[in-house]
Structure 1
Amino acid sequence: MEKGKISSLQMAFMMYPTIVATAILGVPSITAKYAKTDLWLSPIFAALIGFLTVYIAYKLHQIYPKQTVFQFTEKIIGRIPGKIFGFLLLFFYIQNTGLILRAYAEFVVGSFLVRTPISVIMLSMILLCAFIVRGGVEVLGRSAELFVPVFIFPICILIILLIPDFDFKNIFPVLENGLMPPIKGAIIPGGWFSEFFLIIFLLPFLADMKKGMKSGMMTVFAVMMTLIVVNFLVLFVLGSTTPSKNYPLMNVSRYISLANFFEHVESAVMAVWIVGAFVKISVFYYASALGTAQWLNLSDYRPVVWPIGILIVIFSFWSLPNTMDVNRNDTSVFPLQGILMQTIIPLLLLVIAVVRKRNRKGTETSRMD
């Protein structure tokens, strides 16, 4: 079905923007509503979900190295329950790919291309991603390897240019109300960290399988540090007004002014968003197409790429009617849904798989005796 191979570094490059791209724009303000001045602590607690998710995915792959998540689920909990969970997982990924596409288009139209129909933005992105997905995991890995430096560079430039506007007093008081506010603020970004379960679709194609766990864990750490830095950046510039901003990183970028000449660098945030969204949508799209083919027991996933693309666009239009509902979904529905489907249920599957493996070994030992 997929004969391509990627390195563990390419997997890391695929997963890093997949998590960070959408998180750096809206999550700082969402986190600040709960954690206030301690919003920089929330990514540390949220990252624990990421570390756990990577561990679960890697261990499941170790137990069933040559099988997909849809195949080994049927072995763990039975054929019919496995098919039901596989369908729910596919629905989750296809729907959320549509919502990511919608959020991308809403941001682009709302902030820059105001008179451009949102359908044009969405269709052009999904068309580009479809060609990448049809190219296979190697093409996706190389694309991510090419675009990640373009993704990181504008963020570094933003940090350097905003240093004169920093007010370090905004960090105080630290832990005024204890640890609970930053822990509550970690629940929503925890939904983003649960997306690391996507490596279950990439691990079978690693050329250096032994580095899979290390690569995944290092990516979680890199994402955590990026979110901490972005939260500090927003906090030091916007202070107590952070919770009231929809896209605080965009607001922060408007503070940059060097000699009344170098201004209006919102385009840097736009570049980060477009590149990151492209990689993120492509990875979700690939998982949806590959998963659909595996669930249907097809020999190749490429014939379903275009139909899945149409479904993604349909979900992007029909799932949520307006921007307010998109934002409400990001804060109320997706985090809990994501943690349930990508961390809690896989953890239960891993526990059942380990117990069954031990029972099988115990039975074989008793037969030998």
Structure 2
Amino acid sequence: MKQIILILTCLMLSFASGAQQKIQQYAVKSGHVEYQLSGNTTGTKSIWWDNYGSLSRTETKSVSRSKMFGISTETKTHDITIMDGKQFWSANLIENTGQKGNLPYYQEMAQINENMTEAEKQKIGKDILEAFGGEIVGTENVLGNKCEIVKLMGAKCWIYKGIALKSDAEMLGIKTTETAVKFEKNISISKSKFTPPGSITYEDQNQYQQQMMGGMDSFDDEDSDDEDIDLIPVKYPYGKFEKEASEFEYNGYRKMMVMNNKGTYSAMFMKGMSETLAVAATSRKNGNPGQIGNLESFTHKGKKCMYGKMDDEDDTSLIVDIPNYDTYIILVSSAAQSKSEMLSILDQFNF
């Protein structure tokens, strides 16, 4: 049932691991930006990247000052973070400590990214922005580059082709501003720039990541001769799936994205900052998800359903059989949901 696991994994983790995943993050192939930091944190930050951001180096030298209950604190930082394909290294040059590990599901997300048109990428970006209550409030030039001004959660960012050239945020009385003072586009960058500092002993985070992600990375080591999974396209009409996802309203959930990846459909919703709901449509020929875990089978409004938890997973799942389209609709909630609660969610759709 590796195919079904892959579908669910990509759905649930494509945004959870977004802070460390950079798959064509920028619309500029290579570049270098230097920032001046001001506010409660002062100093400099530099970013170098190649291959649209899949290779990157971020170096920050700063001093952060704060005052709480009459007590002033000062924290110095000198960090370097390297992203190189599927791996990352994070080094603290003040304490000579660091971490390294794999970027979870990089290859799967890279394949999804490659199969999307620019219009689809822009639509998903807009959906995510709107889901978090953000908006584009105008345009302004920074270093001669026309940027969209994005306002989100009390912060403002000036973005040029995916690159933030300025940001301004204030939270709990702490103000932070990053302003680009140098921007070089499409330049040649030495490969040595993406080599992690050699003076650091790096703590391997892979085992910890697997525990945090529910051990899902482990299936990559199994069936190694079956790395490329060809999923059979679903017969369910994508236009109908997209319409149902776009019109879904229930208990504070906000749509993050909806997409068609090689005939397998997926949609993501969020409630607050931590609760997620993933919905997928996949062909029944890709496998029976009921064989993954101990799921209860029953009938709801004339449709065969399965409810429960997948093997070794905390997420709650509800699978609906749509035989006239030879399709399974799979709902996965990160929160513990009763059967009646999951059915209430299902009833908001018209699958």
With the shorter chain as reference, the TM-score category is under 0.3
Higher helix share: 1
Higher fraction of strand:
2
Q: Please report the TM-score for the alignment, with normalisation by the length of structure 2.
A: 0.22
- Structure number with greater Rg is 2
Bigger RCO of structures 1 and 2 (CA < 8 A, at least 6 apart): 1
